[in-house]
């Protein structure tokens, strides 16, 4: 080593100085590096890494090249580069040199698991918005000091202000080859900004390369004070939306105030809103952690609404809907925390592993490759791994399942550099870039056996202290029988090879397989279908046609009645069969992702069921099999003013957006009685207003008056700052303007009347009363107002306010002129609304044709979609059901269900479908058991039972479970 500064290339040297001064001259603390006596002196900053294989960037390799480092930067790279005479020479023969790896999503707090996709706790209370008796009423809610009123909204938090790494963590990351990372905030929904740091043992001031890389948003509905707003996914999204609107307003308001502070109201100081502004103005990228592929789809839509620049953090399950992932067009930050087989105590315990559990396990390693196949950019992260050291092992699994090494390397270097806006300084091994390098033994990084030898961070060498297990072993066994050792080794190798072979092959199918419209033969353009000679219950003016034909053209009904001869297209012989319009459920919660209620606050008018439609639940198929084609997905009844509803068609296989009934006018859920006054919520919940039936209309009137004032403010265009957009009052304002229909959960006659009168005082016409079990007592009043009644056929006595519920309710209301429907409010009952309608015949003598209307045209009218669906008439949507007998006969079976002229359910294909699923599960179980055996786990186990294997996806959380009770976040 020489200390003489004699540059071989003065020109380059000059350029280098220029770069250095550019980078460091602004630092007040930069200067002479000579430490006072007593300290270990700093090493010199000139190094030449000689003879290694240099991967300049993914796909570009220099064999036996030299990398020159000077004062923290790469000075030169090349095969012909000569080591400067002042450089310390590092022999790199046989080693591979990569640009230093970057982890774009490093969460340092040990307790932070990935965004929970598990069930959130039900019912509770909340804060954020000033409602009486909910958490957050103190003068300083949210975080201490000036902040958002909602504790999970902390966009002002900066990792750059608190970053203080612990040496062990840094070392463990360097062992994996990482040199830099974006350290991200860990808690809340709007989490704050991360900081991009060098993983070097240096003080935080020097370690931080770039503060405020992303604003982090997680759709995390857990991890907050009990009962605090928002606790549902739809509430989370509403809170995010409102925050960005508030930030926009905040900027305008403050600018206005600065311009002319006199004579106007002083704006509040809010650091949270100020901190959100750069993201809102596209000056800072947002990193969403949506927690599921459906919520990723939603994140992208919200980002579109708010005009945000963003990246997504994968939850590892984009395989569920690759189409949705592709549709995001976004770059993904991808963890490799693949589920591991659990150690099951008994052989029979395998029985409780669902097909979906197996699929999630088998697909996991393929997910990164799958994202690349969708043409999406991808960066890898160690995030989510319980044991960071599993990173390389799991990365190898991903490579074995189709991820290319080039893509993987890009995902560790160039892509994260680009996403974090650091592509000029890092990501490749090029002159002028930060001297961050990862040096690996043997076959290179993607061989998990090859050790990371050392990393270089800002030109400083960090030797990685990996324990050489092989050496230790051989020492121990030196005296042992060499032959035996070889045999054991060979056996292990054989096992490993077998294991690898098994892991390489995916057995799981796509969950989209076998879903969607069923092929019709022969195909025509447009597709036509004729059902001949059936009994047709039109539910329209044509009444019941005893022997008739139904002719479908494209997605519409063309002819109902008799069609002229000469037809030669696809034909269904309907002799002996019955056809009805597709059934419509005016009250359903089965296709909602996560909580059905934003139960925390008494008015949650800002939340939208349309944000959380679950297109993946098994409920869709099961309800199709009962003839259901349209469902009104409603918010629950935990609060007087609930959330906005979403009408969907059960087009199984479509995306959440694809399920939506686009032309259905908007609506909103309201509720009265025991649920909203928290009568059955336990003794803790006695503080929120309202607690009585008296308080409910008081509360409603208050919000409507507030909305009236809001509408007035919007109209006042006398210059100045336009009013803050208020999503709650906006929705209530739409009710007042007649653009949004109320569906009001109700039971007792007195509360029904009180509600009617309150709404009438605002000139609001109520859409429907839901349940309305004492509707028969005030049917005249409901009819006079013109509201519909959507009731249960015969539920009663499950709580006090339904003690007077009678099964004659539907017939009695109908007799007095109320538009009546029967609804399910239950994932089970929604499968058999047809037999429910027969109860109107039994109780109260409604005629059969009229009774069938309770589940067809009447709910269509209640939802204001009757021009499209609900009856079989020419020009309407071709939504219909074919039955084996009269739909009201208890012995009838649904044979086929059609939506938009496409067949979505065919009973003759069902046994095939079930057999295929069972077979797949059997194959997956066989594979799992083999792997468990090879990996040497006891009754099961590849490894640890860390719970990742059984983490039930949010999409299937409620499958096989009823969703109607209040305490399950439902509604009854």
Partner 1 sequence: MIGTGLFCAATVRSETFLLTEATIHTVSGATISRGDVLIQDRKIKGVFDASQPTRAIYPNDTTKIDLKGQHLYPGIIALNTSLGLIEIGAVRATRDTTEVGEGYTPDVQSWTAINPDSELIPVARGNGVTHAQPVPQGNVVAGQSGLVALDGWTSEQMTIKKPVALHLYWPQMELDTRSKEEFQDKSKWKSLEDQAKERQKKLKAFDDYFQEARAYEKARSAAGKNGVADPELNPSWEAMRPFVRGELPLMIHADEIRQIKTAVFWAETNRYKMILAGGRDAWKVADLLATNKIPVVYDYVFGLPPRDTDAYDIQFKAPEILRKAGVTVAFSVGPGDASLLKNIPYDAAQSVAFGLPESEALKGMTLYPAQLAGVADHLGSIEAGKEATFFVADGDILDIRTNVKRMWIAGKEISLENRHTRLYEKYRNRPFPK
Identify residues 2-61 at the interface with partner 1 (CB under 8 A): none
> Which residues in the 181-240 window bind partner 1 by CB under 8 A?
none
Asked if 651 and 658 touch (Cβ cutoff 8 Å), the reply is yes
Candidate list 335, 956, 968, 969; residue touching partner 1; CB under 8 A:
956
Distance between CA atoms of 823 and 809, rounded to whole angstroms?
13
Each residue 660-679 as x (binds partner 1 by CB under 8 A) or -, in order, gives: --------------x----x
CA distances from 774 to 21, 692, 750, 791, 795 (A): 81, 18, 9, 10, 12
Smallest gap from Cβ 325 to partner 1, in A, equals: 22
Candidate list 24, 446, 689, 950; residue touching partner 1; CB under 8 A:
950
Candidate list 76, 176, 334, 841; residue touching partner 1; CB under 8 A:
841
Q: Which is nearer to partner 1, 362 or 549 (CB)?
A: 362
Distance between CA atoms of 400 and 238, rounded to whole angstroms?
41
Phi, psi of 848 (to 5 degrees): -60, -45
> Which residues in the 784-813 window bind partner 1 by CB under 8 A?
784, 794-800, 803-804, 806-808, 812
CA distances from 908 to 151, 250, 311, 615, 687 (A): 54, 60, 45, 24, 55
Residue 842 interacts with partner 1 (CB under 8 A): yes or no:
yes
Smallest gap from Cβ 841 to partner 1, in A, equals: 5
> Which residues in the 113-132 window bind partner 1 by CB under 8 A?
113, 116, 118-119, 121
> Which residues in the 387-446 window bind partner 1 by CB under 8 A?
none
Q: Which is nearer to partner 1, 116 or 404 (CB)?
A: 116
> Which residues in the 844-883 window bind partner 1 by CB under 8 A?
844-845, 848
Q: Which is nearer to partner 1, 550 or 852 (CB)?
A: 852
Smallest gap from Cβ 116 to partner 1, in A, equals: 7
Q: Which is nearer to partner 1, 147 or 685 (CB)?
A: 685
DSSP 725-741: P-HHHHHHHHHHTTSSE
Q: Which is nearer to partner 1, 877 or 959 (CB)?
A: 959
Q: Which is nearer to partner 1, 839 or 927 (CB)?
A: 839
Q: Would you call 784 helix, strand, or coil by DSSP?
A: helix
Q: Partners of 198 in the beta sheet?
A: 180
Q: Would you call 783 helix, strand, or coil by DSSP?
A: helix
The region of 422-430, 539-547, 607-615, 827-835 touching partner 1 under the rule CB under 8 A is 827-835
Q: How many residues bind partner 1 (CB under 8 A)?
A: 81
Candidate list 436, 827, 858, 896; residue touching partner 1; CB under 8 A:
827
CA distances from 278 to 48, 147, 285, 332, 916 (A): 42, 17, 8, 21, 51
Q: Which two tokens stand for residue 274?
A: 């100020």
Q: Would you call 558 helix, strand, or coil by DSSP?
A: strand
Q: Which is nearer to partner 1, 16 or 537 (CB)?
A: 537
Distance between CA atoms of 245 and 306, rounded to whole angstroms?
8
What is the 3-state secondary structure of 33-79? CCCCCCCCCCCCCEEEEEEEEEEEECCEEEEEEEEEEECCEEEEEEC
> Which residues in the 286-305 window bind partner 1 by CB under 8 A?
none
Q: Which two tokens stand for residue 102?
A: 């970057």
Q: Partners of 532 in the beta sheet?
A: 573
> Which residues in the 888-947 window bind partner 1 by CB under 8 A?
888-893, 910-911, 914, 917-918, 921, 945-947
Q: Which two tokens stand for residue 767?
A: 């859409």
> Judging by beta carbons within 10 Å of its beta carbon (0-12, 13-18, 19+), is residue 186 exposed, middle or buried?
buried
Smallest gap from Cβ 338 to partner 1, in A, equals: 15
The region of 112-120, 186-194, 486-494, 734-742 touching partner 1 under the rule CB under 8 A is 112-120
Smallest gap from Cβ 381 to partner 1, in A, equals: 19
Residue 576 interacts with partner 1 (CB under 8 A): yes or no:
no
Distance between CA atoms of 255 and 161, rounded to whole angstroms?
27
DSSP 155-169: TT-BHHHH----HHH
> Which residues in the 594-653 window bind partner 1 by CB under 8 A?
618, 621-622, 625
> Which residues in the 544-573 window bind partner 1 by CB under 8 A?
none
Candidate list 838, 878, 899, 928; residue touching partner 1; CB under 8 A:
838
The region of 161-169, 429-437, 648-656, 834-842 touching partner 1 under the rule CB under 8 A is 834-842
Q: If we measure between CA atoms, which residue out of 864, 840, 861 comes closest to residue 850?
A: 840
Q: Which is nearer to partner 1, 669 or 964 (CB)?
A: 964
Smallest gap from Cβ 507 to partner 1, in A, equals: 14
The region of 100-108, 111-119, 168-176, 574-582 touching partner 1 under the rule CB under 8 A is 111-119
CA distances from 678 to 125, 326, 442, 603, 675 (A): 10, 43, 66, 14, 5
Distance between CA atoms of 364 and 123, rounded to whole angstroms?
33
Q: What torsion, rounded to 10 degrees, do the Cα atoms 725, 726, 732, 736 define? A: -30
The region of 377-385, 520-528, 537-545, 958-966 touching partner 1 under the rule CB under 8 A is 958-966
Distance between CA atoms of 621 and 648, rounded to whole angstroms?
14
Phi, psi of 527 (to 5 degrees): -65, 130
Q: Which is nearer to partner 1, 77 or 852 (CB)?
A: 852
Candidate list 831, 861, 902, 927; residue touching partner 1; CB under 8 A:
831
Q: Which is nearer to partner 1, 164 or 352 (CB)?
A: 352
> Judging by beta carbons within 10 Å of its beta carbon (0-12, 13-18, 19+), is residue 8 exposed, middle or buried?
middle
Q: Which is nearer to partner 1, 6 or 914 (CB)?
A: 914
Q: Which is nearer to partner 1, 305 or 349 (CB)?
A: 349
The region of 17-25, 462-470, 859-867, 959-967 touching partner 1 under the rule CB under 8 A is 959-967
Smallest gap from Cβ 870 to partner 1, in A, equals: 22
> Which residues in the 121-180 window bind partner 1 by CB under 8 A?
121
Each residue 721-760 as x (binds partner 1 by CB under 8 A) or -, in order, gives: ----------------------------------------
Q: Partners of 583 in the beta sheet?
A: 628
Residue 944 DSSP one-character state: -
Smallest gap from Cβ 192 to partner 1, in A, equals: 22
Candidate list 392, 660, 832, 927; residue touching partner 1; CB under 8 A:
832
Q: If we measure between CA atoms, which residue out of 471, 460, 465, 420 comes closest to residue 437?
A: 460
Q: Which is nearer to partner 1, 46 or 812 (CB)?
A: 812
- Cα Rg of the chain, angstroms: 33
> Which residues in the 318-377 window bind partner 1 by CB under 8 A?
342-346, 348-349, 351-352, 354-356
Candidate list 220, 751, 959, 971; residue touching partner 1; CB under 8 A:
959
Candidate list 839, 861, 868, 876; residue touching partner 1; CB under 8 A:
839
Smallest gap from Cβ 388 to partner 1, in A, equals: 18
Q: Which is nearer to partner 1, 537 or 621 (CB)?
A: 621
Q: Which is nearer to partner 1, 313 or 560 (CB)?
A: 313
> Which residues in the 757-776 window bind partner 1 by CB under 8 A?
776
Distance between CA atoms of 2 and 675, rounded to whole angstroms?
82
> Which residues in the 677-696 window bind partner 1 by CB under 8 A?
679-680
- Non-local (6+) Cβ contacts of 86 within 8 A are 2, 3, 4, 5, 6, 7, 44, 46
Distance between CA atoms of 830 and 505, rounded to whole angstroms?
39
């Amino acid at each position: 080593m020489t200390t003489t500064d004699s540059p071989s290339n003065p020109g380059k040297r000059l350029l280098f100085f220029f770069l250095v001064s550019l980078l460091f001259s602004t630092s007040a603390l930069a200067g002479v590096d000579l430490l006072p006596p007593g300290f270990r002196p700093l090493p010199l900053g000139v190094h030449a890494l000689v003879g290694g294989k240099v991967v300049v960037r993914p796909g570009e390799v220099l064999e036996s090249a030299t990398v020159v480092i000077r004062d923290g930067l790469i000075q030169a790279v090349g095969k012909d580069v000569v080591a400067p005479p002042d450089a310390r020479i590092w022999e790199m023969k046989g080693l591979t040199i990569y640009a230093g790896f970057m982890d774009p999503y490093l969460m340092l707090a040990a307790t932070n698991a990935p965004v929970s996709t598990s069930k959130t706790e039900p019912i509770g209370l909340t804060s954020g918005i000033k409602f009486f008796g909910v958490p957050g009423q103190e003068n300083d809610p949210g975080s201490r000091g000036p902040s958002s009123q909602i504790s999970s909204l902390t966009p002002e938090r900066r990792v750059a202000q608190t970053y203080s790494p612990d040496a062990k963590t840094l070392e463990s990351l360097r062992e994996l080859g990482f040199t830099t990372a974006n350290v991200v905030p860990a808690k809340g929904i709007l989490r704050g900004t991360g900081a991009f740091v060098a993983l070097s043992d240096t003080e935080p001031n020097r370690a931080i390369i770039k503060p405020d890389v992303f604003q982090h948003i997680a759709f995390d509905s857990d991890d907050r004070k009990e009962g605090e707003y928002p606790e549902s996914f739809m509430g989370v999204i509403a809170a995010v939306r409102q925050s960005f609107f508030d930030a926009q307003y905040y900027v305008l308001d403050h600018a206005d105030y600065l311009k002319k502070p006199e004579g106007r109201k002083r704006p509040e100081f809010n650091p949270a809103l100020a901190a959100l502004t750069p993201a809102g103005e596209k000056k800072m990228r947002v990193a969403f952690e949506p927690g599921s592929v459906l919520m990723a789809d939603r994140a992208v839509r919200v980002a579109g609404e708010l005009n945000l620049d963003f990246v997504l953090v994968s939850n590892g399950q984009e395989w569920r809907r690759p189409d949705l992932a592709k549709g995001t067009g976004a770059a993904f930050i991808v963890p490799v925390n693949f589920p591991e087989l659990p150690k099951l105590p008994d052989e029979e315990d395998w029985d409780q592993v669902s097909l979906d559990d197996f699929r999630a396990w088998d697909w996991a390693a393929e997910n990164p490759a799958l994202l690349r196949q969708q043409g999406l950019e991808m960066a890898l992260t160690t995030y989510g791994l319980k044991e960071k050291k599993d990173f390389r092992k799991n990365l190898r699994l991903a490579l074995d399942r189709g991820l290319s090494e080039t893509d993987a390397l890009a995902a560790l270097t160039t892509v994260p550099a680009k996403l974090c806006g650091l592509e000029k300084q890092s990501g490749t091994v090029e002159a002028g870039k930060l001297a961050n390098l990862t040096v690996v033994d043997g076959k290179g990084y993607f061989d998990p056996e090859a050790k990371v030898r050392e990393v270089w961070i800002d030109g400083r060498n960090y030797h990685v202290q990996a324990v050489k297990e092989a050496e230790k072993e051989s020492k121990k066994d030196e005296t042992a029988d060499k032959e035996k050792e070889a045999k054991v080794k060979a056996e292990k190798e054989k096992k490993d090879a077998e294991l690898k072979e098994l892991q390489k092959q995916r057995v799981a199918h796509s969950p989209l397989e076998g879903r969607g419209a069923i092929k019709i033969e022969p195909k025509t353009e447009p597709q036509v279908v004729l059902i001949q000679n059936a009994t047709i219950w039109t539910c329209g003016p044509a009444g019941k046609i005893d022997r008739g034909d139904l002719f479908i053209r494209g997605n519409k009904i063309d002819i109902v009645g008799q069609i002229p001869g000469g037809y030669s297209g696809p034909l269904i012989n309907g002799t002996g069969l019955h056809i009805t319009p597709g059934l419509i459920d005016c009250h359903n919660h089965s296709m909602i992702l996560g909580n059905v209620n934003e139960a925390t606050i008494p008015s949650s008018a800002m939340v939208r069921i349309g944000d959380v439609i679950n297109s993946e639940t098994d409920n869709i198929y099961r309800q199709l099999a009962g003839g259901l084609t349209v469902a009104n997905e409603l918010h629950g009844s935990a609060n007087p003013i609930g959330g906005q509803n979403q009408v969907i068609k059960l087009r199984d296989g479509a995306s959440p957006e694809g399920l939506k009934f686009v032309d259905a006018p908007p609506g909103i859920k309201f509720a009265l009685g025991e649920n909203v006054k928290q009568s059955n919520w336990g003794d803790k919940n006695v503080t929120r207003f309202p607690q009585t039936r008296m308080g409910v209309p008081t509360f409603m009137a208050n919000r409507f008056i507030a909305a009236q004032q809001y509408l007035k403010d919007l109209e006042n265009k006398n210059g100045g700052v336009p009013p803050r957009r208020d999503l709650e009052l906006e929705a209530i304002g739409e009710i007042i303007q007649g653009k949004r229909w109320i569906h009001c959960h109700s039971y007792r006659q007195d509360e029904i009347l009180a509600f009617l009168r309150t709404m009438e005082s605002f000139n609001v016409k109520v859409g429907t009363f839901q349940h309305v079990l004492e509707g028969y007592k005030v049917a005249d009043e409901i009819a006079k107002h013109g509201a519909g009644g959507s009731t249960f056929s015969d539920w009663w006595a499950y709580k006090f306010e339904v003690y007077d519920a009678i099964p004659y309710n539907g017939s009695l209301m109908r007799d007095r002129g109320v538009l009546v429907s029967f609804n399910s409010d239950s994932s089970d009952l929604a499968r058999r609304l047809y037999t429910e309608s027969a109860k109107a015949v039994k109780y109260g003598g409604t005629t059969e044709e009229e009774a069938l209307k309770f589940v067809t045209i009447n709910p269509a009218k209640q939802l204001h979609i009757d021009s499209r669906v609900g009856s079989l008439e020419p020009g309407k949507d071709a939504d219909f059901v074919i039955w084996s007998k009269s739909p009201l006969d208890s012995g009838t079976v649904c044979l086929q269900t059609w939506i938009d002229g496409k067949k979505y359910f065919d009973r003759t294909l069902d046994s095939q479908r079930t057999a295929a699923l069972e077979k797949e599960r059997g194959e997956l179980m066989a594979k799992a058991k083999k792997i468990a055996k090879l990996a040497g786990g006891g009754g099961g186990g590849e490894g640890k039972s860390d719970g990742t294997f059984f983490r039930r996806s949010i999409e299937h959380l409620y499958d096989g479970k009823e969703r109607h009770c209040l305490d399950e976040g439902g509604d009854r």
